[in-house]
Structure 1
């Protein structure tokens, strides 16, 4: 659980220290801009950007009922973030599984990728797709 927040916390702490350093040197405006930029990056790389994560079994069960894709992801993954942002509001229709929180989800990803934990891995109708085009995933969301 802690590694999920390591990068965002590091961004906030280092950004705050740099902002204080700039403020002490007399560049208050630059300090504010830097701190806000670090805060924004910390938010983007946090799990807060993604819809609520489910367990792999629950996501698979829900996907069987509604036909929506299951997206296996992990915090800090730039490809997962790209997929999430390009899906826009439609991302809430997918079932998201954080492989760092769910060992069963990590096992699904390893099985689909020859032992590697390559994410995002999107499962549609039982077929895994590794790092698919966001437009393709959006089309599967309806």
Structure 2
């Protein structure tokens, strides 16, 4: 029985799933928009919203908790400095999923996961590697 087991396992082991979702959330905050399959987007959205809630709290413990999920210090700094201010007056709903149809190769349902305050021109200019 799978009573009270929330979340989609996505056909992966727990370590693979955890690593994949961490990478997706890191990419989402770095580029502010990612293209992926719809089930992966739904799972990554949960983790991304939790990270923004941590950033809104803003204390040292919250930053360390975010660093456990997001491995890049520069992305965590962006989250706690730039993105935090954008979402201080919003209670939840920090991301949006836009369904884009089926992928040509295997007909997987694709989606765009993006931050609600995403602007096309700003994120490309703000990327520094």
| TM-score, normalisation: structure 2 | 0.29
| Structure with greater strand share of residues | 2
| TM-score, normalisation: structure 1 | 0.27
